[in-house]
Amino acid sequence: MLKSVFIPINRAGWIFIAIFAALTVVAAYFNEPAGWIGVVLTIWCTYFFRDPDRFTPTREGLVISPADGVVQMIQEAVPPSELEMGDQLLNRVAIFMNVFDVHVNRVPIAGIITKLSYRPGKFFNASLDKASELNERQSVRLTLPNKTEIAFVQIAGLVARRIKCDIQEEQSVIAGQRFGLIRFGSRVDVYLPREVPILVTVGQRTIAGETVLADLQAKEQSRSGEVR
């Protein structure tokens, strides 16, 4: 029960929580209503940086969601040019995170990080298609043991102003491993081979480190869904 109440906070958030708390104290000293507003904002900041443990499926071939959020779009697209993966169309699954979602990102599948590339850019609403090309982003190319390559991209949003990525090239990673976060509200795209069926649908909510986006071993067709 205590674990459900006292959720761990990502260490990157403590400095911001401290700043919000300090400003709240100053605001309350000069104006009580402003102080209460500060309390609400400090609580929200603490909530934003929560970092709960997740139970990641471990079967080989499963591609796990790298982000909490809603599947914004599923479409064919060319991966970011800076990853040097060619101009072949891949399946892109875009997951949009609002400011109330957990923003800690997780590796979708085990492999070796073979390319990292940061690209500055604009700060359009991350739910827009053009955000994939024009917004600030951190792109990652991951090579699986069977030499299959996938990519995942952290994309800054309208209010996001900082992408944090804690992995390095040539690093071995496992599915569900924490690798970074984005402040505050953003998107993560996952690029998969076209022949891989997608097991989520547009509008579906995903949980980082838990929701299965795709199965490299599956023979079924990509799934469809509807609101019920």
Q: Which residues are catalytic?
A: 186
SS3 78: coil
CB 13 within 8 A of CB 180: no
Please name the residues in contact with 184: beta carbons below 8 A apart, sequence gap of 6 or more. Answer: 48, 99, 103, 159, 160, 161
CB 155 within 8 A of CB 165: no
Give dist(CA 152, CA 86) in Å, integer.
Answer: 15
